[in-house]
Amino acid sequence: MAKGGTVQVAEAWAGHTTKPKKKAAASGPVRQIVANNKKARHDYVIEDVFEAGIVLSGTEVKALRMGRASLADGFVLVDRGEAWLEGVHIPEYFQGTWNNHAPRRKRKLLLHREEIDRLAMKVQAKGQTIIPLALYFLDGRAKVEIALARGKKEYDKRQTLREKQDNREAQRAMRQRELLG
């Protein structure tokens, strides 16, 4: 023992064994999905996908953390060099007070200037629009995945459904064959 009753570091750790700590998975940041726009992939041909931050108020963040949002009628407008998310429904936070948010208000998207300019140029082309695909938290920050998309014709939708159904039937037949064979 050292002077004053303190134990030397080497002496203190001499008989102590520690278990190695498990390292977190190196898969990257965790993505907690709040809402998906499943209908968008059915109604549109997705050409390019972007990730954008979103400006939210406190009660909107709390409502999203509860997993409550709808992207079904959402779309993005580029106005005066800024991207705005409209038509997305984030219901009021039920424990909010008089300063609760409006459920369908315009929300500003955070993108780089080059991305906004590229989106604005492509949207001016005939038949293209910007739609939200997913709303999620990435490292505690709300993000929205938006896509530059072109609307599908009715026959394209039917063809896509037919292909999915054929693939499902083929997979089912393969499973049956494995079980029997």
The 10s digit of each residue's pLDDT in 133-177 is: 998 988 888 899 999 988 877 766 788 788 888 889 889 888 888
Do 53 and 141 contact (CB within 8 A), yes or no? Answer: yes
Predicted confidence band of residue 113 (pLDDT cuts 50, 70, 90): very high
pTM of the model: 0.66
CA distance 39 to 43: 6
Answer yes or no: is pLDDT of 117 > 60: yes
Give the Å distances, CA to CA, from 3 to 6, 7, 10.
7, 9, 15
3-state SS record for the chain: CCHHHCCCHHHHCCCCCCCCCCCCCCCCCCEEEEEECHHHHHHEEEEEEEEEEECCCHHHHHHHHCCCCECCCCEEEEECCEEEEECCECCCCCCCCCCCCCCCCCEEEECCHHHHHHHHHHHCCCCEEEEEEEEEEECCEEEEEEEEEEECCHHHHHHHHHHHHHHHHHHHHHHHHHHHC
Spans of all domains in the chain: 29-170
User: What six digits make up the tokens of 156?
Assistant: 């394209």
CA distance 90 to 69: 5
pLDDT score for 144:
92
User: What six digits make up the tokens of 65?
Assistant: 């953390």
The superfamily CATH assigns to domain 29-170 is Small protein B (2.40.280.10)
CA distance 51 to 43: 20
Answer yes or no: is pLDDT of 41 > 90: no
The 10s digit of each residue's pLDDT in 50-90 is: 999 998 877 788 878 887 787 888 888 888 889 998 888 87
